[in-house]
Amino acid sequence: MTIPKRFIRSVPERTPDDVEAWWAGFAAMHPDWEMVTYRDPIDSTGFPLTGHAWPSCRHPAQVAGLLRLEALYQQGGVWIDWDVECYRSFEPLRSLRCFAAWEDPRTVPDAILGAEPGHPAIKLCLDDALRSVLSGEDPWRSGPGVLTRLLPGRDDVLLLPPGSLYPYHWTRKAAERALDHKAAQPWAFAAHHWKASWVPPRAPEKTPSLMRRAVRKLRRLLETRSVAS
């Protein structure tokens, strides 16, 4: 079995122009692939394995995490987060049964994840993410945390090296993020641009400096949790 020619994403009701441009880039580079978008509001009844748990999610990112795993388990394909830009064709990865990539030596993010339908590793992740959500654990554990815990060491999953799907780290400063990673790292299939949908939206009355400090604090906390896991 191979990974179907299908890209899958979930997005808010409204998306920025750059997000839609990146999505169009995937379509242009893969003209015979199916492009599947789940746009808010999403009907949970279409997800019989996880929809019942969506009300227990503490953050929209957890809903996306459950949706991601169920969609891949049921349909197969390649999940891409809405802030991922395509650098080159994913066609060479279709011969794999399941793939993800290391972000660094500690973490396997879930922003880009490919699998054949019914893959046992995806089912294992799905079951663990459900348990995490229903037990009230923090959002990281049901998202990147579940892949980081369960995918390494499996002989039916290929974990690509850092740089292949995540050419720059989420902690990089804005100036470093603006570099031309596509030219500098021709081996990269894509880039996750880390729009940080898990960060609470900026309140109008807050000053930018206060919000920057809050975001830095939250990121340090998430990074500490990733190391602990």
Q: Where are the domains of the chain?
A: 6-197, 199-229
d(CA 147, CA 186): 26
pLDDT for residue 181: 87
Structure tokens at 43: 């009907």
pLDDT for residue 210: 45
Average pLDDT, the chain: 88
Task: List pLDDT tens digits, range 133-148.
Answer: 999 998 899 999 999 9
Closest CA to 87 of 188, 18, 195: 188
Within 10 A of 31 (CB to CB), how many other CB atoms are there? Answer: 6
pLDDT for residue 218: 57
Q: What is the pTM of this model?
A: 0.85
Phi, psi torsion values for 60, nearest 5 degrees: -55, -30
Residue 213 has pLDDT above 70, yes or no: no
3-class SS at 162?
A: coil
Task: List pLDDT tens digits, range 180-198.
Answer: 888 889 999 999 998 865 4
Average pLDDT over residues 214-225: 56
Average pLDDT over residues 72-100: 97
Q: Which residue has the higher pLDDT, 95 or 180?
A: 95
Give the angle subtended at the CA of 145 by the CAs of 210 and 118, to the nearest 5°: 135
Closest CA to 174 of 145, 203, 216, 204: 216
Q: Which residues contact 128 (CB under 8 A, 6 or more apart)?
A: 142, 146, 149, 150
Query: What CATH number is given for 6-197 in this structure?
Result: 3.90.550.20
d(CA 9, CA 30): 15
Task: List pLDDT tens digits, range 4-57.
Answer: 999 999 999 999 999 999 999 999 999 999 999 999 999 999 999 999 999 999
Task: Say what percent of the chain tops pLDDT 90.
Answer: 76
Structure tokens at 224: 């500490």
The identity of residue 115, as a single letter, is A
d(CA 71, CA 108): 19
Within 10 A of 60 (CB to CB), how many other CB atoms are there? Answer: 15
Structure tokens at 147: 């892949």
Residue 104 has pLDDT above 90, yes or no: yes
Classify burial at 112, counting beta carbons within 10 Å of its beta carbon; exposed 0-12, middle 13-18, buried 19 or more. Answer: buried
